[in-house]
Chains A and B, each alone.
Chain A
Amino acid sequence: MANEKSITLEINGRRRETTITANQTLLEVLRGLEYFDVKSGCEKGDCGACAVLVDGIAVDSCLTFAATLDDRSITTVSGLGKGEQLHPLQKAFTEMGSIQCGYCTPGLIIAAKSILDENPDPTDDDLRLGLSGNLCRCTGYTRVFDAIQSAAKVMRDGGEQG
């Protein structure tokens, strides 16, 4: 097929080789590789449900062509924990009532991780700015802010690996 090429992505620490066409977004490619934890919400960069980390930077996978990411490292929400152990963000979201329908959760946790990587002690306003590209229709963000700030504290105290 025209414009097909083979690329290698390191996804959650695992190297995956796959054949793609140039016009495939990272979202399509990831879900095609059965990373169903990456969600499609709008395919326009308005909702953030598809957010993943590329070399540690949060991007909307629906707006990124996989062909430009050969040999790059991708992290999805399922790659944040260590085996059975949840990442502090996942644990906080789970325990603090910050998840309702859960569809925005993967993108939201990825964005939260990205914020905490830069800013280990975010204020509400820091979170408002950092999460404005993540739409949530269920929670109203209050418990989301709580969970992120709680996880941030755990990570600052060195309780669990960030």
Chain B
Amino acid sequence: MNDPTTEPAAQANLQYRQVGKPLTRTDARGKSTGELRYAGDHVMPGMLHAKVLRSPLASARLKRLDATKARNLPGVAAVLTAAELPGRLAPTDLPGQTGRKRTDTDQQILVKETVRYHGEPLALVAAETVAIAEKAIALIEFELEELPVVSDPFEAMKPGAPVVQGSNNVVAEHKIRKGDVEKGFAEAATIVENIYQTQFIEHAFLEPEVGLAWVDEFEVTNIRMSTQVIEHFRYVADALDLPHNKVRVIGSLVGGGFGGKEDVTVEIYLALLARHTMRPVRLAYTREDSFFGHGKRHPFHIKHRTGFTKDGKITALEVSITTDAGAYVFLSPYVLLYNAVAAPGPYRVDNLKIDAVAAATNNMFTSAFRGFGSAQACVAYEAQMDEAAKILGLDRLELRRRNFIATGDTMSTGFPIESATWTEDCMDQAWTALGEKTPDHGAIKVGRGVAAYQQSYGRMTWVHDTSEAWVGMEMDGTVVVRSGITDIGAGQTSALGQIAAELLGVGLDNVTIYNSDSATTPLAGTTTATRGLLMSGNSVRLAAEAVRARFVERAAKEWKVPPETIDLGERRIFVADQPDYSMDLKDFVAICASEGILRSELAMYRAPFTEPIDRETGQGRVFPDFTFGAQAVEVAVDTGTGEVEVLKSVGAHDIGQAINPAAVAGQIEGSSHMGQGYALSEELVYENGQLMSPSFSEYLMPTSMDVPRYQAIILESRSGMGPFGAKGIGEPALTPVAPAVANAVADAVGVRVFDLPITPEKIVKALRCKKL
């Protein structure tokens, strides 16, 4: 194995002054006092309140819509229906990128004639108070003629099925071919075949979607918004037929995103109402609105057929993948692609055939959710490894060790991994951290499971992803960073501050970060696809390095020493080991300023640019790089009732270099919780397209009473493409969790539940079947 790491971890972290330290985040204090405001915490004089009227049916024709009574209600400023928006469409393709032309998946902003999902917006109201807006909604009269519903992707692809999208409901297909699967299966001593099914999941960010829009004196439409993507100003402009430079998005602190605030949510409604009324308009979704208001996690049906030698080496893999795109395309083609590419997992597979299809139905549309298809792939491939180990009679960890992909090996799309693949080390450390096994007692059976994974960080490379940032030093030596990055709670902005502080020799508390304003901060691209650190971290690094280089050059001239001997630290610039050659940055920067030396830099980081992969073979580069890691879980299952208690849960991940280890650990712990819910208790139930669970009383995330102490183990190979060798963690941390929980439960009861969530009832049923 060609290990690209060059420096022992401990040494590097000792050298850094800011990076690698669990510094208090810049936003933490203000959140603890409630001082920091979110998008819904702003008021403006004359502000109107908006509400959305939604379809109670999943598939229908809108025969009549009459808003007269609503419009006449005192206090109502506007009611908008499709009739007032002639031909306007909302873009739904890949958000916030400039590298490729948008595909034509634009959707109606308000229902004109055809309702395609339960909750699809029929009308918008803006009124003086929320209560009046609610009354107005109730006064809008409408008539819906029920149409046939298709609520299963397999049904949707049968001839004669109701057509929801396109000509036959197929909205995306992907194929990946590598090597020779027939030959591979012929060489297999054992073939393992199983079908795995995952469920619709809700992001359930604590802060429902919310925004406030107004038109200013320059006729710019401003939208203060809780979003992962300020670049939606372009989509708003396109939807309203405005110039891009006449729409501004000011991204607020986001109370959780997880992919659910990646698409446009309320921005277009706000812009329409603000421009129609020429008054500020606020739209705050209720929790129920939120269940209907953004795309959900794709449920996947994954058939895995794997060939193994008697020693457990994978010889061939065939995967058939079907997913439910729901009523509109949104990001389904890409989620499908991620899933297909990830299908083999972090294992060497030389012969594979992967076929994936996404079909539209009248269920809620599905879109981005942390893990973006790769998480669902891991549910399948890691269960498959455990099932195979059982059949082969091999230790589960050993089977994995024999197949782990290594640096230099090629992934499913034929592209070689260039960074470190410390999967085995992560798996072993996570497993060891489980400690001594809790003994069975009475009806309680204890089981353990592990799941390893690979998860991409950075966007698909043919998107030609770029990100900009500005870094500068003030006359007093303090530092300013400007970046369009949205902070959705993982400490995105604080990390940028740490990077700038490290390179410019100041403390984190000497840095002010201005972020997420499309008018005033350089555009960074989306906070999605685990790209924040790679893209913005690198653009901040490039900007800071440029400033540093100029300072170092000037100081070198001043002190007549080689530039490589000069360092910045503790708000000073100095020659290493030469105490006489040292100056306060404040004094130094004054010299630079007076000489016209630029104290700031606007930099762009470019991720690797490629062409799209081959349509027939799926071969080519898809992602910049991958994070590798593992989760180990111990559960106690009550074999009488089927209840599962998670006793221990450990995530071990090689994240390259932790910029802020506390933030990284927080991501691992939080993901351990989110993944547990994914495995055991969360599901959105759609019956004939109707959402049966639109509140937190039915949609069950783990509470504090359901959690063990999660444990995070951070490994640092320093081999990533991010700043200081960092990789990404946001999505990777979640990917192995549900699979590990599922494996632990199967280990405990000796039988597997093949569809998530693994509820107590399903366990009881599986145990009954096992007895027969």
Contacts and interface: CB of A to CB of B under 8 A. Distances in A.
Indicate whether A and B are direct neighbours in the complex (CB within 8 Å): yes
Interface of A: 34, 36-44, 46-47, 49, 76-78, 80-81, 86, 89-91, 93-97, 99-106, 109, 124, 127-145
B769 interface: no
B631 interface: no
B483 interface: no
Contacts of B695: 42, 44, 46
B20 to A, nearest CB: 14
B707 interface: yes
A101 B705 contact: no
B674 to A, nearest CB: 7
B704 A37 contact: no
Contact of B488 (A39, A43, A46, A101): A101
11 contacts: A36-B37, A44-B287, A47-B206, A100-B666, A102-B489, A104-B206, A131-B703, A139-B669, A142-B709, A142-B711, A143-B666
B7 interface: no
B133 to A, nearest CB: 14
Interface stretch (B139-147, B251-259, B634-642): B251-259
B766 interface: no
Contact of B704 (A42, A102, A127): A127
Q: Which of A78, A136, A141 has the most CB of B within 10 A?
A: A141
Given A102-B27, A103-B256, A90 B33 contact: yes
A100 B205 CA distance: 12
A38 B665 CA distance: 28
B297 to A, nearest CB: 14
B662 A97 contact: yes
Contact of A128 (B38, B665, B671, B705): B705
A140 B707 CA distance: 8
Nearest to B27: A102
B206 A81 contact: no
Given A46-B697, A77-B33, A100-B670, 14 more contacts: A36-B37, A38-B34, A78-B33, A86-B29, A90-B29, A101-B253, A102-B489, A103-B205, A105-B31, A128-B704, A132-B704, A139-B666, A139-B673, A144-B704
Contact of A86 (B33, B253, B490, B710): B33
Contact of A132 (B34, B705, B710): B705
Contacts of B255: 39, 101-103
Interface string B233-259: 000000000000000000001111110
A43 B671 contact: no
Contacts of A131: 703-704
Given A41-B206, A97-B22, A138 B256 contact: yes
Contact of B287 (A43, A128, A141): A43
A90 B707 CA distance: 23
Given A44-B696, A129-B705, A78 B35 contact: yes
Contacts of B256: 101, 103, 137-138
Contact of B34 (A37, A124, A143): A37
B41 interface: yes
B348 interface: no
Contacts of B463: none
A123 to B, nearest CB: 12
Contacts of A93: 28, 32
B33 A41 contact: no
B258 A37 contact: no
B173 interface: no
Contacts of A145: 709
A32 to B, nearest CB: 10
Contacts of A80: 33
B561 interface: no
A142 B696 CA distance: 22
Contacts of B33: 37, 77-78, 80-81, 86, 90
A142 B709 CA distance: 5
Interface residues of B, number: 57
Contacts of B653: none
A138 B206 CA distance: 9
Interface string B680-708: 00000000000000011100010111010
A77 to B, nearest CB: 5
B28 A99 contact: yes
A94 to B, nearest CB: 4
A142 B206 contact: no
Contact of A124 (B662, B697, B701, B709): B709
A46 B24 contact: no
A99 B34 CA distance: 12
Contacts of A95: 24, 28
Nearest to B22: A97
A55 to B, nearest CB: 20
Given A42-B696, A138-B489, A102 B701 contact: no
A30 to B, nearest CB: 11
A93 to B, nearest CB: 5
A137 B682 CA distance: 13
Contacts of B286: 43
B234 to A, nearest CB: 25
Q: Which 3 A-B pairs have the closest CB atoms?
A: A37-B34, A101-B489, A103-B255
Given A93-B28, A143-B666, A103 B38 contact: yes
B119 interface: no
Interface string B700-725: 01011101011100000000000000
Contacts of B25: 97, 99
A7 to B, nearest CB: 18
B670 A94 contact: no
B152 interface: no
Contacts of A142: 669, 707, 709-711
B697 A137 contact: no
B741 to A, nearest CB: 14
A91 B761 CA distance: 43
B553 interface: no
A137 B699 CA distance: 13
Q: Which of B29, B34, B37 has the most CB of A within 10 A?
A: B34
B543 interface: no
A51 B718 CA distance: 43
A103 B207 contact: yes
Nearest to A105: B31
B83 interface: no
Given A36-B34, A137-B256, A100 B489 contact: yes
B307 interface: no
A91 B29 CA distance: 8
A77 B34 CA distance: 6
Contacts of B519: none
A99 to B, nearest CB: 5
Nearest to B698: A46
A61 B752 CA distance: 43
B41 A36 contact: yes
Contacts of A78: 33-35
B43 interface: yes
Contact of A46 (B36, B257, B673, B696): B696
B556 interface: no
A124 B705 CA distance: 10
Contacts of B669: 139-143
Given A34-B43, A101-B256, A103-B256, A94 B696 contact: no
B491 interface: yes
B32 A105 contact: yes
A94 B382 CA distance: 37
B663 interface: yes
Contacts of B43: 34
A134 B256 CA distance: 15
B220 interface: no
B315 interface: no
B205 A137 contact: yes
A154 B178 CA distance: 61
A132 B703 contact: yes
A127 B705 CA distance: 8
Contact of B674 (A46, A91, A137, A144): A137
B217 to A, nearest CB: 25
